[in-house]
Amino acid sequence: MKKGIPLLGERMPGIEVQTTHGKKRIPEDYAGKWIVLFSHPADFTPVCTTEFVAFAKRNEEFKKLNAELIGLSIDQVFSHIKWVEWIKENIGVEIPFPIIADDMGKVATTFGMVHPGKGTNTVRAVFIIDPQGIIRLMIYYPPEVGRQIDEILRALKALQISDQNKVALPENWPNNELIQDKVIIPPPKDIVEAEKRKKEFEGYDWWFTYKSL
């Protein structure tokens, strides 16, 4: 199996793993769904705890987008279970999604989640995988910086909007400073199409046109 950071557009390698919800085959068990696979450095650490609480509170929002959350770290399953219990008992938040127990580091190594200079802990990686099992987005954070979960939700929504409408999404969509919630028309393929663009759509020029959905 190939090791190291995968490329966007590659098919996710199939993995069979032990999780807090039992054994899973990924992506096979999630056929037809989007997957948000994310790693964290270790259980019982403050930054990771804040992230898991945020993921849990937005779990239903991910489900509404036909997406399933899956966590991962190089910890044994009993550690995951105890940490999930601790979060529920001390913070009052139930973790509803499975956490992969990658105690041998096989999955983390395959996906390039282990930084050579950071020991054996996984980095804060996020992979968004589409219903066809294709890796569509990757975000990597260092252990000392927590993720912004709403940005992961935004990116997932943007990918789905792009797929459904064959458009591109601007910076900070749907709150872009220039075009607000409008979407960008793909570049024209020839001169004739370029000349039609400004007549058919709003825009700054033929190469920068946009529309409302």
List the catalytic residues: 48
The rounded distance, in Å, linking the Cα atoms of 68 and 35 is: 5
Other Cβ atoms less than 10 A from the Cβ of 32: the count is 8
Structure tokens at 26: 């990924």
The rounded distance, in Å, linking the Cα atoms of 136 and 63 is: 18
Q: Which H/E stretch holds residue 52?
A: helix 46-57
Structure tokens at 175: 């709150």
b (16+ CB within 10 A) / e for 190-199: eeeeeeebee
Q: Which H/E stretch holds residue 37?
A: strand 34-39
Could you tell me which residues come within 8 angstroms of residue 41 by beta carbon, excluding any fewer than 6 positions away?
A: 47, 48, 73, 118, 121, 122, 123, 124, 143
